Amino acid sequence: MTVYAIIGGTGLTQLEGLTITAALNVDTPYGAPSAPLLRGEYAGREVLFLARHGHPHRIPPHQVNYRANLWALKHAGAEAILAVNAVGGINAAMGTGHLCVPDQIIDYTWGREHTFFAGELDHVTHVDFSYPYDAGLRELLIAALAEEGCAFSDFGVYACTQGPRLESVAEIVRLERDGADIVGMTGMPEAVLARELELPYACLSLVVNPAAGKSSGIITMAEIERALADGMGQVRAVLARVLGA
């Protein structure tokens, strides 16, 4: 049976319902992961859980040690990864509270350690990244969303920006022109590092605010926190249904 790892983002620093059997402090060649890896049982299945931003939530998106996180999960026995991300909605159909299973990503980040293939290498390696997310995992998420009766999209282009600030209106106009449907700060290099480690990876994104210029007001943390509180129950239910399948 596949051992899944769940990477929790903003709003999911703890996995309610997880029966923890071990907290693993994994030493990696890339430094420390964001938090101890939690091994336990969720929805009747063994899982690993990692809080991307630490617990408590303290590590901004551009300072997450993505390489350590992915390496630690792989070496703790993870065989597939379900990543949860809080995002802004660009596509008019993807408003606050909407769930999205993206099928593509555009990387606008810079300065992040984005590959394991660096330094003194025996040979140069190029991984294929035409389709960033695992098709089988996406199908499981999409089926679970439909069964839960959630408002969701089974497609989406995720624009990954540097952060930690939110985007300007002009930047969102550019991202929309580039074809982006949602915008977040943590989708990369996480997805490509999973690919380099040959770990199937898919993303479940919760829209927590309209992107800049997509509503009449400014974006507030209070608005985002309300959306997180309202939406993470659905996220947990979807994850439980996937794991229980």
185: annotated binding-site residue? Answer: yes
Q: How many CB atoms lie within 10 A of CB 127?
A: 13
CATH code assigned at 222: 3.40.50.1580
The angle that helices 221-244 and 135-148 make with each other, rounded to 10 degrees, is 100
With a cut of 80, say whether residue 15 has pLDDT above it. no
53: annotated binding-site residue? Answer: yes
232: annotated binding-site residue? Answer: no
188: annotated binding-site residue? Answer: no
Reported pTM = 0.93
With a cut of 80, say whether residue 225 has pLDDT above it. yes
- CA distances (Å), 215 to each of 29, 88, 96, 219, 224, in order? 44, 11, 11, 9, 14
Name residue, tokens 């389709």.
131
211: annotated binding-site residue? Answer: yes
Tens-place pLDDT, residues 88-124: 999 999 999 999 999 999 999 999 999 988 877 677 7
* pLDDT the model gives residue 192: 98
Give residue 12's domain range: 4-118+126-244
With a cut of 80, say whether residue 176 has pLDDT above it. yes
Number of domains the chain is built from: 1
Tens-place pLDDT, residues 18-44: 888 889 999 999 999 999 999 998 888
Amino acid identity, position 6: I
- Reported in sequence order, the residue ranges of 120-161 that DSSP labels E, i.e. its strands, are 152-153, 157-160
* pLDDT the model gives residue 13: 60
